[in-house]
Amino acid sequence: DERQILQFQITLYGDDERLLMARDITRLHRLEQMRRDFVANVSHELRTPLTVLAGYLETYNDHADQLPSRFARGLTLMQEQTMRMQNLVNDLLLLSRLEIDHRSEDAVPVTVDELLSAIRRDADSLSGGRHELSIEINDQRQLLGSEQELRSAISNLVFNAVRYAGEGCHIVLRWNSCAKGACIEVEDDGEGIDPVHIPRLTERFYRVDKGRSAATGGTGLGLAIVKHVLLRHDAHLEIESHPGKGALFRCVFPEPRLVEANDDHPRVQR
């Protein structure tokens, strides 16, 4: 619409001096909207052809014994890359949906220990027993939010720990009280991350090691998704890490998002 969007900035110079600046960001806002629409439309259009490709490749794979053996490697590669593209398209669509609105609509009380147990089961099967995963619950309150979005965000953190921490590592999922409210923490004792990368980790497609990340099947959008899900829950992400000393991802939820667990609240459907 034709509304003008202004951004205000107030700078304090001392006790009695301050500067108010107003900037017209209407054009910037429109460009950002165009970018979001474009990405969402392209991702949506790519879904059908990719589904057709994946379907036929699966059929060929079912009849692989009838194909000349020199095609076997190519078929496997095509299947892997098609799945990678499908993951990318799904993550792009999810991200553009999360970006449209900064507030989660379908907030219900989520029982965090059940949520973390479900994520651990998925992570256990992904890890194939190469990591030890444990859960610590130190807060009995429930979290008001979208169970689906929270599951997708925390799964991204746990799957990252499984993929990057290295074999034999210990991964802990925690629900803790903290000064600002309560936090879900995902901590591993793996390879860690150089702190210079930390401020940029939640940018789309930012990776510490591009080759390694692509090889693990990541889309480069995992932490951007986490950041947007948390924004929609009035929460934020804190990251602490050092090379060789593991990594800690902390999702901090403010008090208004927490409710005492009692039977009057509707249970989260699973």
Question: Among residues 5, 113, 93, 91, which one has the least CA distance to residue 45?
Answer: 93
Q: In the complex, which residue's CB is closest to ligand ADP?
A: 218
158 binds ligand ADP (CB under 6 A): no
58 binds ligand ADP (CB under 6 A): no
Q: Which of 99, 147, 149, 188 binds ligand ADP (CB under 6 A)?
A: 188
Distance from C-alpha of 187 to C-alpha of 181, rounded to nearest angstrom:
19
The position carrying tokens 């667990």 is 261
165 binds ligand ADP (CB under 6 A): yes
DSSP letter string over 167-214? TT-EEEEEEEEETTEEEEEEEE-SS---GGGGGGTTSTT--SSHHHHH
- Torsion angles phi and psi, residue 40, rounded to 5: -65, -40
248 binds ligand ADP (CB under 6 A): no
DSSP letter string over 62-85? HTGGGS-GGGHHHHHHHHHHHHHH
193 binds ligand ADP (CB under 6 A): yes
Residue number with CB closer to ligand ADP (120 or 265): 120
162 binds ligand ADP (CB under 6 A): no
247 binds ligand ADP (CB under 6 A): yes
Region binding ligand ADP by CB under 6 A among candidate stretches 8-16, 70-78, 138-146, 156-164: 156-164
Q: Which residues bind ligand ADP (CB under 6 A)?
A: 156, 160-161, 164-165, 188, 190-191, 193, 201, 207-209, 213, 218-220, 222-223, 247
